[in-house]
Chain A
Amino acid sequence: MASDGSNTSSSSSIIPDRKNIAQQRLRIIAGHLRKPDTDGGVEALGCSAQENRPGAATNKTTVPRRRQEVMKWNGWGYNDSRFFFNKKGLTELSGKRYRLSGLLMPHMSDWFTSTFGASLQHTSLATPTLDPSAVKPPFLNEAFMEDLKSTGLPFTTDPEDRVFRSHGHCLHEIFALREGKVGRVPDLVVWPNCHDDVVKIVDMACKHNVCLMPYGGGTSVSSALECPPEETRSIASLDTSQMNRILWIDEKNLTAHAEAGIVGQDLERLLGESGYCTGHEPDSMEFSSLGGWVATRASGMKKNVYGNIEDLLIHVKMVTPQGVVQKSCQVPRMSTGPDIHHFILGSEGTLGVITEVTIKIRPIPQHQKYGSVVFPNFEMGVACLREVARQRCAPASIRLMDNEQFKFGHALKPQVSSVFMSFLEGLKKFYITKVKGFDPEHICVATLLFEGDREKVLQHEKQVYGIAAKFGGLAAGEDNGHMGYMLTYVIAYLRDLGMDHFVIAESFETSVPWDRVLDVCRNVKERITRECKEKGVQFPAMSTCRVTQSYDSGACIYFYFAFNYRGLSNPVHVFEHVEHCARQEILANGGSLSHHHGVGKLRKAWLKETVSEVGLGMLKSVKDYVDPENIFGNRNLL
């Protein structure tokens, strides 16, 4: 979003409106002299479990207990937002939440049909509603239920609620739901309201040997939320969504203390009301939770300025079967043996429940500016990103999309007269391809996001565009940049559209040293294409990547692949095979098992070779000590 206010038509739900922020800053500064407003987001209340809080409605947060009232039970995101091809074959996004909502995208259907050999007429629609009889009746531990009832904590055994907590957003999970297929699901869902509630629940679970599975935002893409089918105990899903308050903000030290269930958009919105932000923006931030980030070692788009979750984390409280683990102080760093935070970061719900987190905050930057650069080819683009990293001058975000994604981005451009496509854009295209001789089949684009005060942003821009020019890069405007980032938030919605038309898709990521970026991209994409072909996929698969993060010594690469599964008897099987091969290829070429999605159950077969036998043993021994009865039995990682 342009900060100079020229783009007044923007109505993004993600980035707070700048004018408001300025006003809020004033209010906040004034407000610091008073007690916190009760209508403000920041609460410093004690938690009383007895009085059942009225829930989301008055709590002003996004996530109600009955998630299905706002979110799809078998797809991505809000119920009101959905891509579809209208009667004229134009693509639309329903609802009002996103910048693309309500706009017409004329190129999408062409791109879709020609890329996948798909047809708008052939549909493979999802089962509209969950058949409750497909869900096994809950297996309940009576003694545990007795105790639970006595605490007065809200819980449910409603099939819809249980099914909702039984999955993340892996393709196979969503595909099964769309077909109305349900596997093992939690036997009940319980909603603690605060840390103490969690302590009680964990105690009871230990006492009665009930399996607990922490549930944050449900955005996992590693099968982390899948119930192990071999689990014979009663499984309780511990939904943290109602633990969603910011407990305090410490402006002197620039930290905030919040409950783990708060989701990204609420955290940023509420902090924003005080003029602050964490700057942690994973693409899933509308739904993923603070606790989930810690539990999976998440990474946000703007980590270049703010750091990844492990850099942001100052203090964390986790309730384990052995008791509560936490540090005794809130300090920036300490040398006290191995950092216990690093047992908690990435523990993926296997050791306990993260209940409260102190996280670094920053004043909201004065100025934010998008940008983009086109490169004649991917190689040049990577060389540029590498140089930017070498000079340590990366903007808040810098991402490089390959040619396929570049085209995909174009397909999503809304109809002319919209904010994005302008006469100028057309001119630029002409200039790039005709005058500069860029081959449209090789062009790729880097999207940029600068943050800071106006001066600095300008200076920074100059430096980065200067480097880009050395690698043949041409500045291609703010809109292209903005468009690129917006894609990020809607791409998960698009997968549902694809699935309505026999196209399945998935994304996965890795981190690699700089010198292997090109090799990994090339080999993995090619491997995907070949494996799909070999497995009988009729139309060439789409296999594309982008470099989403850069570091001093390497980068994060994000892959998408998608194919038309018409004619395949077992598409999910083919898909899983291809995904498996792709990961093998990554590992063989020196990539990591995961940069930020985590291991879960999807990738745990490779953990040993990734961290060595001894390394795995170290993790196991921690698990054995902390949770000998495997109360936190989601069986991730190990």
Chain B
Amino acid sequence: MASKSLYSPMLKKRDDFEDMLEERRTSSDLKYAFKCYTPVLYKGMPPCKTTLLKSMVLHSDQLRYVVRQVSKDTGTAPVAVQEEASAILEEMAHRLQLGPVRFFAFTLTKAFKTLFRSICVNEEGLQRLQQVVQEHPVVLLPSHRSYMDFLLMSVILYTYDLPLPVIAAGMDFMGMKILGEMLRMSGAFFIRRSFGGDRLYWAVFSEYVKTMVRNGMAPMEFFLEGTRSRTCKSLTPKLGLLNIVMEPFLKGEVFDVSLVPVSISYERILEEALYARELLGVPKPKESTSGLFKARKVLSEDYGSIHVYFGQPVSVRSLAQGRVDRSQFTMQPRHIPSKPSEDTQSFVNDVAYRLVCAQEENMVLRPWVLLASLLLQGMALEELTQQAVWLRGLVREFGAFLHWPDDKPPSEVVSDSLSLHVGLVRVADGRVWLLLEGAAAEGPGPATPEERLLDVAVQVLSCASYRNQALHVFVRPALLATAVHSASSGKKEEVFHTFSFLRNMLANEFILCPGDFEEACQQLVRSGALQVSQQEVTAMDRGQPTLSFLMAMLDPFLQGYQVVCRYLCEEASEGLTEKQFVPAVRNFTVKLLLQGNLRYSEVLSSDLQKNALAALLRLGAVRRVNGGQQVTLKVDKLMVNSLEDTLGGKLPTQKCVLARL
């Protein structure tokens, strides 16, 4: 893929950052909140009132068509259906107003100033955005690691006099009454989490979004990943909204649509421990206003810096060139909803992956990310600095966007980082220890071994969430390193097979694309770890540290998937339901950990477990059976078993069941 090189990190020249808070610390916040705000506009058109927007949606051919259909199918009077549509729209629609945005700008910057050392934004990215906003409808696609993301985005855009976006938000926020309304007034609109078969809901929702895109009323903003990533790893993208925003282009209603990936990296995430608990099965607290503010304690800590990188706008038109035959959309009236064709779906899917990759590539990595990666592999303090310096070289080689203060001695950088994350690590006896949560707290330690285990796991998962920020840099070479290690010979073809097997197996875990193999080869050859000829792939002696570091990084995942497989083969009962799956695997994992048969408490992460299940479902090793109330899982034990063996290196990949995949 020629265009791939555009995104190859090695070629990427990235912009510089400016600290947005700097000015805020020296001049009046009130003045800032009341500043004259005159954003540039799409084709110079004034933004349209939300009432007009609503009426456009309700009177659109699209909606009228579906209303008629629904009315015909259900026997409900068209007026009633139309009313229902109207109610859905009321529940959904944003009410963007400048006032509330000013309010948030005022209060949030005050909070930001105490929480963060800096909020760094690439101003060139904003300039590009400013340009493109005038020419095409724009879709902003930020990464999603924190609740704060979208308010942060709006505040930045307000600060830089850019048009305020309209943001697709989950309904969960609606639970917080006042806040929900405030968010609505600052541009959020609310979508129900699941409305699978509800034609009317879908019609209102998609028409609402398309009307805004078609008319360039405001930049549309949504999260490709669908939800906050609790692991800080990018999630596999959701395609629904992306499909909708591309449609006006595909159907010729606009000349182009610009997609702007935005990477928001937090040096320390506000929700850090919360996420770890969630992953471990402590149920997610309902998102309520009071809950959010109870975290007041959070507000008194130091969260380091935020980096926000507005990526290169991507033109849907140029992506679609030669990929999608747009004339296919000319054969029926455009207001009749139709399922996208297969080639369109695969196109949208590729675009989504590309954009997530673009987000990943512009994520700023802080030294702590490297330290966390090393710490999870066990490291002594003097060694840590030395290893960190080595790793710094490696990630730079791999093209990562690393912000390492080169003007300071490395040891200082390391100790600074450690001190920012005092909640996670402690230095004692010349070693760096992951801080056990229970041990840190006053009073008696946890009672049972299992509780102790979970406490460790919380720390490990928190730590892992930082390592995960660098995963996109390492995952390709790590897959290759593992493949070289476990392939039955050094034949390039063999290695490629093993690599492909792993990539396929882990496709729900990481953002991977075809073509990764060549890229990984290049990276490891460049770093001197491998030698690759036409036929052979050979590990170099001097590359051992690199290779073993990479393999160690991937190991918890491979082990985790094997645990899931083993559970399904050995323990799962016949009628295992989908609901029971995660708790059951967790129990099984706890057992293994306590027995000392498993090293990585990371395997307790429900994210990993769910991804493993998704992979098995995708590969057909497990099937979902809809049995009345519940969905049960039907396990093809032979296949699962063989997958487990292959993952464990016991079977050559070519012979395994997946050879055909």
Contact = CB atoms under 8 A, between A and B. Distances in A.
Interface of A: 515-516, 519-520, 522-523, 526-527, 587-590, 609
B360 to A, nearest CB: 30
A517 to B, nearest CB: 11
B107 to A, nearest CB: 41
Contacts of A587: 327
Q: Which A-B residue pairs are the 10 nearest by beta carbons? A: A590-B330, A588-B326, A589-B252, A519-B252, A526-B255, A523-B255, A588-B327, A587-B327, A519-B253, A523-B252
B253 A590 contact: no
Interface string B313-347: 00000000000011101100110000000000000
Given A520-B252, A523-B252, A515 B334 contact: yes
Given A519-B253, A520-B252, A523-B255, A589 B326 contact: yes
A590 B252 contact: yes
B255 A590 contact: no
A312 to B, nearest CB: 30
Interface string B251-272: 0110100000000000000000
Contacts of B333: 515
A347 B255 CA distance: 35
A589 B255 contact: no
Contacts of B325: 588
Contacts of B330: 516, 588-590
Nearest to B321: A584
B255 to A, nearest CB: 5
B438 to A, nearest CB: 63
A523 B327 CA distance: 14
Interface in B84-114: none
B252 A516 contact: yes
Contacts of B334: 515
7 contacts: A515-B333, A519-B253, A522-B255, A589-B252, A589-B326, A590-B252, A590-B327
Contacts of A526: 255
Interface residues of B, number: 10
Interface in B182-209: none
A333 B333 CA distance: 32
A515 B1 CA distance: 36
B436 to A, nearest CB: 60
Nearest to B328: A588
Nearest to A525: B255
A520 B334 CA distance: 14
Nearest to B335: A515
Nearest to A523: B255
Contacts of A519: 252-253
Contacts of A589: 252, 326-327, 330
Residue in B253, B327, B329 with the greatest tally of chain A CB atoms within 10 Å: B327
B210 to A, nearest CB: 14
A258 B252 CA distance: 45
Given A516-B252, A527-B255, 13 more contacts: A515-B334, A516-B330, A519-B252, A519-B253, A523-B252, A587-B327, A588-B252, A588-B326, A589-B252, A589-B326, A589-B327, A590-B252, A590-B329
B135 to A, nearest CB: 9
A615 to B, nearest CB: 15
B252 to A, nearest CB: 4
Contacts of B253: 519
A526 B136 CA distance: 12
A587 B333 CA distance: 16
Nearest to A530: B255
A526 B317 CA distance: 12
Residue in A522, A587, A588, A609 with the greatest tally of chain B CB atoms within 10 Å: A588
B536 to A, nearest CB: 44
A519 B253 CA distance: 6
Contacts of B252: 516, 519-520, 523, 588-590
Interface in B471-510: none
Contacts of A522: 255
Interface string B291-330: 0000000000000000000000000000000000111011
Interface in B232-282: 252-253, 255
Contacts of A516: 252, 330
A230 B326 CA distance: 34
A590 B330 CA distance: 5
A588 B317 CA distance: 12
A423 B145 CA distance: 68
Contacts of B329: 590
Nearest to B253: A519
A609 B329 CA distance: 15
A609 B326 CA distance: 13
A431 to B, nearest CB: 25
Contacts of B255: 522-523, 526-527
A515 B334 CA distance: 9
A609 B330 CA distance: 13
B343 to A, nearest CB: 14
A343 to B, nearest CB: 27
A590 B326 CA distance: 9
A587 B329 CA distance: 11
B573 to A, nearest CB: 55
A277 B327 CA distance: 40
Nearest to A527: B255
Nearest to B256: A526
Contacts of A527: 255
B333 to A, nearest CB: 7
A589 B330 CA distance: 7
B254 to A, nearest CB: 8
Nearest to A524: B255
Contacts of A588: 252, 325-327, 330
Nearest to A591: B330
Nearest to B333: A515
A181 B383 CA distance: 77
Contacts of A515: 333-334
B566 to A, nearest CB: 52
Interface in B365-399: none
Contacts of A523: 252, 255
A534 to B, nearest CB: 11
B42 to A, nearest CB: 14
A516 B333 CA distance: 10
Contacts of B327: 587-590, 609
A520 B327 CA distance: 12
Nearest to A516: B252
Contacts of A520: 252
Contacts of A590: 252, 327, 329-330
A519 B254 CA distance: 7
A520 B333 CA distance: 15
A527 B255 CA distance: 8
A516 B251 CA distance: 10
B131 to A, nearest CB: 14
Nearest to B331: A590
A589 B255 CA distance: 10
A519 B333 CA distance: 14
Nearest to B330: A590
A523 B254 CA distance: 7
A515 B326 CA distance: 16
A522 to B, nearest CB: 6
A589 B248 CA distance: 11
A300 B193 CA distance: 57
B183 to A, nearest CB: 34
A22 B338 CA distance: 60
B659 to A, nearest CB: 38
A520 B326 CA distance: 13
A523 B255 CA distance: 5
B45 to A, nearest CB: 12
A560 to B, nearest CB: 19
B435 to A, nearest CB: 57
A515 B329 CA distance: 13
Nearest to A610: B327
A589 B253 CA distance: 9
A378 to B, nearest CB: 13
